[in-house]
Amino acid sequence: MDVNTGSPTLVGEGFELRALVRPDADALLALLLQPGVARWWGAYDAGKVERDFFGQECAYTYLIIVDGEIAGVLQFHEVTDPDYKSAGIDITLGEVYQDRGLGTRALKRLIRYLIDERGHHRMTIDPATDNRRAIHTYEKVGFRTVGVMRDYERDITGAWHDGLLMDLLAREFGAE
């Protein structure tokens, strides 16, 4: 069974987060191929969409829906060992939906769900160190820098680049 089956729709201000389903695969790939997304999320094809969004246990994917359109993707991966329980988050918005406050609002909505409904006390996120907009956005949401992970991920040019590990604790997350 698809790991996303059963994820509830989460309603936010001007958007909703809806679980990814298989018929979304082509539209998701089209979003990931936009240059302003691929620059930060790397190279995708249909096979990688299948592996990353449908084939991973404990990795759940939501689409960010605005006026019925797919505006972006939010994914979280759960560490289920009770002694290390946490949720790692990834986000991207389609080019025309960036820089409107949507990323901040969508992240806050997902984090509220992760805390209240899935019992998480710690969330992590790991932007590229040169993704200043993403880092600033995550700081607005409440994430703090833990440190630099050197040569953490390969970018679309094939080069390794550093990632910034950031975390946020439930007890520091304000009422939204």
Ligand X SMILES: CC(C)(COP(=O)(O)OP(=O)(O)OC[C@H]1O[C@@H](n2cnc3c(N)ncnc32)[C@H](O)[C@@H]1OP(=O)(O)O)[C@@H](O)C(=O)NCCC(=O)NCCS
- Nearest-CB residue to ligand X? 103
- Asked whether position 40 contacts ligand X by CB under 6 A, the answer is yes
Query: C-beta of 17: minimal distance to ligand X in Å?
Result: 14
Candidate segments 3-11, 44-52, 91-99, 168-176, binder of ligand X by CB under 6 A: 91-99
Closer residue to ligand X in complex, CB, 51/132: 132
- Asked whether position 150 contacts ligand X by CB under 6 A, the answer is no
- Asked whether position 104 contacts ligand X by CB under 6 A, the answer is yes
Q: What HEC string does the chain produce?
A: CCCCCCCCCEEECCEEEEECCHHHHHHHHHHHCCHHHHHHHCCCCHHHHHHHHHCCCCEEEEEEEECCEEEEEEEEEEECCCCCCEEEEEEEECHHHCCCCHHHHHHHHHHHHHHHCCCCCEEEECCECCCHHHHHHHHHHCCEEEEEEEEEEECCCCCEEEEEEEEEEHHHCCCC
- Asked whether position 154 contacts ligand X by CB under 6 A, the answer is no
Closer residue to ligand X in complex, CB, 19/110: 110
Query: C-beta of 140: minimal distance to ligand X in Å?
Result: 6
Contacts with ligand X by CB under 6 A: the residue count is 21
- Asked whether position 87 contacts ligand X by CB under 6 A, the answer is no
- Asked whether position 134 contacts ligand X by CB under 6 A, the answer is yes
